[in-house]
Chain A
Amino acid sequence: MPKVTIDGVSIEVEAGTTILNAARQIGGDLVPPAMCYYSKLKGSGGKCRVCLVEISKGSEANPNPMPKLQASCCTPIADGMEVKNMTSQKVQDMRKGVVEFLLINHPLDCPICDQAGECDLQNLGFDYGAQTTRYQEGRRTFDRIDIGDKIQLHMNRCILCYRCTYVADQLTPHRDHGVLNRGDASEISTYISHAIDNDFSGNMIDVCPVGALTDKTFRFKSRVWFLKPYRAHRQCSHEKCNGQVDVWMFGNEIYRVTARKDDYHEVESFICNECRFDHKNNADWTIEGPRKLEKWSVINQGKYMKRTAEVNIDTEKALLLGRNEDRKRLSMVAPEEAKKK
């Protein structure tokens, strides 16, 4: 089997595996983040560009490095390939750039967003985001549209990963929504305000990496980190759903039901809308036990608490910096200095 080395760690994987999946087989910190790739959705990936990695050696046969960074989610490995992710300054720099691009038009409404706490963009922003923005213009907004009584669409938060369109194509009988317009005017929409209505549509909520698609039955009910997730199941009659879910409880009350997710926040098996939306009663579920949480997940209230000590926001200073630099170039005297004189 071909061998690939990622950040100095070697692994043998099957031919045709992508770099990202090889990295996931190794696990740990060297796994590139992924915002658009979803292993269970065919054709996904390649769009968000946060998974870019540097290929410092193409393969045993052709050891030249690749001149451009490559999207690890859709670049297959070759025997002897050497990949740099966390160890490459260039990758880290570019990833910061991509995260900045994803954030310049993001509404940053985490305080009122139901996804907060389990949002991939939040995590990414935490790891790679800047504390201040260099974007001065108004943020892009979209008109609100109603896509049905189960799913809430907040287009302003969407990062256009296209995952939800793949869900509709590959899991549901037909697709009612898609991407309209192009460039930064692209939006997820149902054409002429049509409701998305089929019994598997709820999976889009789980698949959406940000808070663009959220559960209407859970809207503004609670912050996710106040809830405790439990593994649970029920006898489900839907032929594609096995009734295995996570229920999110506060005390004895079930606040919401989601599919089970793995370490990379991907759904393990998709569930039907009936399980998701219509069974909020304790008696409907057999509770298996509490779900293990990732050590530093926000829901575990670990991540931010552990690291906030380093955060230092000097807004005023940062704002003035630009002005003062300008003044220097214009050989004008800054007001404070003028006063001194």
Chain B
Amino acid sequence: MGRKILTEHINVPGIQGYEVYRQHGGYRSVEKALKMTPNDIVEEVKKSGLRGRGGAGFPTGMKWSFIDKKSGRPRHLVCNADESEPGTFKDRYMMEKIPHLLVEGMITSSIALEANLSYIYIRGEYMWVYRILERAINEAYAKGWLGKNIQGSGYDLDLYVTCGAGAYICGEETALIESLEGKRGNPRIKPPFPAVVGLYGNPTVVNNVETIMDIPWIVMNGGDEFAKIGIGKSTGTKLISASGHIRKPGVYEIDLSISVEEFVMSDEYLGGMYSDRPLKACVPGGSSVPILPAELLFKTAKGEQRMMTYESMSDGGFATGSMIGSGGFIIYDDTTCVVRNTWNFSRFYHHESCGQCSPCREGTGWMEKILYRLEHGYGSQEDIDLLWDIQRKIEGNTICPLGDAAAWPVAAAIRHFRHEFEYHVRYPEKIKDRKHFEYEPWEKVKHLMGTKEAVAV
């Protein structure tokens, strides 16, 4: 049984409300933080080795130390609750169940950053969660944890929740800032980074919900204690949103030290495959990360056991590895059609591109159309190579990483499952029904394809 940092009290009845939350040790980190110097808090977070849980995994302490404190401009902390990555739903679960933990984390983190005005930016589709957060914030104001002169310390902090209008791109930190300023949610060109020029031109830190929720525990127990959990540079616990063909989908808090096999197969976690069908593939970190075929999921290409850590998950680079990303863990069994799945992801990125830069605006739509053709039996061999070429020309050439996020899943699907794309080209009549792999899984039809062709790259 792993450590529970975030979810320890999650099932306590009434924990949504202030009183119960406070009885279970709530807001103690604020009391402690007010007695510490801001730099000490940043040092603790640095020591903890906490890495951003929003996807990129950038060390939080380091990010905090970049914030420009010299210019004398007001600073802001913004919590990124725009969680829109397909496959990820951990932030919603946490904010719904234990909203005060986020409020407490925001206060403690704002103290560390010496920010007096902070925001939570939540996606518009989470309207009911928005209301839950509003209530929690109102309670915190009423009890003197927010507002002027918090608990008599002389420190002021205002915290607001703002709703997005339903755009995935507003999860990208600079687009989020634009949206928060009331503009069109177009990512900004970096540099300058938000730590220097952010919200309203002021130094700003943007952090994921889960990252901020980890802060109270780190302040209470010390960074070293946090760093003891996990392996190497992957410290602490991580929330994983598990979905797909598994027995027990849901949000799990895991130590960053268990193996993928244990996570998928043990009864404590996912409980193995749904109706015992064979595992086909896994998208381990939300729709943006490369898909991994079964043979590379439990073992790396070198034959080592793959662990649920940032390093192990990306072992082998993109050729044979993936990323832990935002922790949207999707498992597929052999009834899944990878082509259809890739098409579905492409549709999402096509729909969500902001349309600023040409490769992403035009390329995402083009890829979607080609994948539509392939999936529906109108594709040709050239289309597969064309798809490869398009993704190659999007990746790395865009303003924000959405272009990469659109390219990686397509690249990985072709890299590992080229044979399925070819099957779609060569046997259009067999794949007409979208459930074709349910009737005839790949194992049953692969003899039709003869010897497996050389895999690209």
Contact = CB atoms under 8 A, between A and B. Distances in A.
Contacts of B362: 101-102, 104-105, 184
A183 B382 contact: no
A98 B353 contact: no
Nearest to A67: B396
A97 B357 CA distance: 13
Contact of B352 (A48, A183, A330): A183
A329 B450 CA distance: 11
A182 B358 contact: no
A49 B398 contact: yes
Contacts of B353: 182-184
Contacts of B356: 46-47, 160, 162
Interface string B133-165: 000000000000000000000000000000000
Interface residues of A, number: 40
B interface bracket (residues with beta carbon within 8 Å of A): 20 to 34
Contact of B358 (A98, A135, A326, A330): A98
B376 interface: no
Contacts of A307: none
Given A183-B364, A322-B382, A48 B350 contact: no
Contacts of B399: 46-47
Interface in B370-423: 380-382, 386, 389, 393, 396-399
A52 B453 CA distance: 35
Given A182-B354, A329-B381, A101 B359 contact: yes
Contacts of B397: 49, 52, 68-69, 94, 97-98
Interface string B361-372: 111111001000
A74 interface: yes
Interface string B323-361: 000000000000000000000000000111111111101
Given A48-B358, A183-B352, A74 B189 contact: yes
A48 B386 CA distance: 21
A200 to B, nearest CB: 23
A279 B91 CA distance: 62
A71 B354 CA distance: 18
Given A69-B396, A182-B169, A184-B350, A46 B355 contact: no
Given A46-B399, A102-B362, 7 more contacts: A52-B397, A94-B393, A97-B393, A101-B358, A101-B366, A104-B362, A184-B361
Interface of B: 167, 169, 184, 189, 350-359, 361-366, 369, 380-382, 386, 389, 393, 396-399, 425-426
5 tightest Cβ-Cβ pairs between the two chains A and B = A97-B393, A186-B355, A101-B362, A183-B353, A46-B189
